[in-house]
């Protein structure tokens, strides 16, 4: 007995439901971060007692941390390319590398937070502190969620669940991971460099 698969016509033809759902989720997350960034910019421009960022934040440390997150996006790209060519071993290697780099990013962010807290900068001490911890905290939670999701994808990869033909979970993971990376590039530029 033959099963017919209903094909969509129009602009979403060939796009899986899960990929479409991921794009919708990422669009809502982009609006969330866009709102946070807009609020930050308004508050910063209105704040007369805003500190000199280079005096308060460790810009070189965070620049290095930004590089780590960008490299993690590359390892994610290499992992997807590996499974698209059927190489499960390299997929596993690149996924593990991505998770490790994401964890290193979170660890360095924790070091920065610890230093700020030790110096007396908290979310309740100033407008700068509240906006800084809100922006970097929400982003850190998204990276943590990505690392946890990555561990699930890694476990499935070690079980041989992804093949050259069926690797949607890796693709969805990549979409999310690249989104988190792009958001950080915006945050780093706006919070640390502007």
DSSP states along 100-167 = HHHHHHHHHHHHHHHHHHHTT--TTT-HHHHHHHHHHHHHHHHHHHHHHHHHHHHHHHHTT---SS--
Structure tokens at 152: 């699930």
Of all residues in the chain, the percent with pLDDT exceeding 70 is 93
C-beta atoms surrounding 99 within 10 Å: 22
Where in the chain are the domains? 67-193
Q: 149 exposed, middle or buried (CB, 10 Å; 0-12, 13-18, 19+)?
A: middle
- pLDDT of 5 > 70? The answer is no
Q: What is the pLDDT of residues 61-99, one digit of tens each?
A: 999 999 999 999 999 999 999 999 999 999 999 999 999
Phi, psi torsion values for 117, nearest 5 degrees: -65, -40
Asked: is 67-193 a CATH 3.40.50.300 domain? The reply is no
Quick check: 37 and 186 in contact, CB under 8 A? yes
Rounded Cα distance between 53 and 63, Å, is 13
Closest listed residue to residue 15, CA positions, set 186, 190, 180, 175: 175
Structure token pair of residue 35:
């709102």
In the chain, the percentage of residues whose pLDDT exceeds 90 is 86
What 3-state DSSP class applies to 48? coil
Rounded distance between C-alpha atoms, residue 152 and residue 161, angstroms: 11
Cα 183 to its chain centre, rounded Å, is: 7
- Whether the pLDDT of residue 100 is over 90: the answer is yes
């Amino acid at each position: 007995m033959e099963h017919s698969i209903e094909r969509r016509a129009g602009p979403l033809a060939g796009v899986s439901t899960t990929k479409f759902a991921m794009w919708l989720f990422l669009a809502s997350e982009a609006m969330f971060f866009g709102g946070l960034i807009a609020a930050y910019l308004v508050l910063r421009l209105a704040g007369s007692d805003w500190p000199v960022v280079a005096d308060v934040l460790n810009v070189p440390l965070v620049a290095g941390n930004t590089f780590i997150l960008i490299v993690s996006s590359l390892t994610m790209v290499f992992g997807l390319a590996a499974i698209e060519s059927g190489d499960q071993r390299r997929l596993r290697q690149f996924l593990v590398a991505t998770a490790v780099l994401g964890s290193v990013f979170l660890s360095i962010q924790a070091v920065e937070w610890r230093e700020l807290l030790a110096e007396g900068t908290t979310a309740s001490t100033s407008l700068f502190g509240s906006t800084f911890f809100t922006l970097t905290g929400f982003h850190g939670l998204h990276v943590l969620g990505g690392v946890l999701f990555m561990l699930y994808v890694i476990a499935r990869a070690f079980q041989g669940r992804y093949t050259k033909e069926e690797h949607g979970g890796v693709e969805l993971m990549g979409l999310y991971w690249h989104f988190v990376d792009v958001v950080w590039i915006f945050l780093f530029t706006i919070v640390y460099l502007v």
